[in-house]
Amino acid sequence: MSLGAGERPWRLFVALDLPPGVRAALAAAGAAADPDVWRPVAPDSLHLTLAFLGSRPPADVEAIARVLEAQAGTPAPRLALGDALLLPPRRARVLTVALEDSGGALGELQAGVSSGLEAAGVYTPERRPYRAHITVARVRPHAQPPRAAEAHLERLAFSAGRLTLYRSQLHPKGSRYSPLRAVSLAG
Catalytic residue ranges: 47, 133
Q: Answer whether 47's CB lies under 8 Å from 177's CB.
A: yes
Tell how strand 157-159 and strand 133-139 pair up. unpaired
**What are residue 183's phi and psi, to 5 degrees?**
-130, 135
Residue 156 neighbours by CB distance under 10 Å: 14
Q: Give the β-pairing of 157-159 and 48-56.
A: unpaired
Nearest to 150 by CA among 162, 137, 131, 169: 137
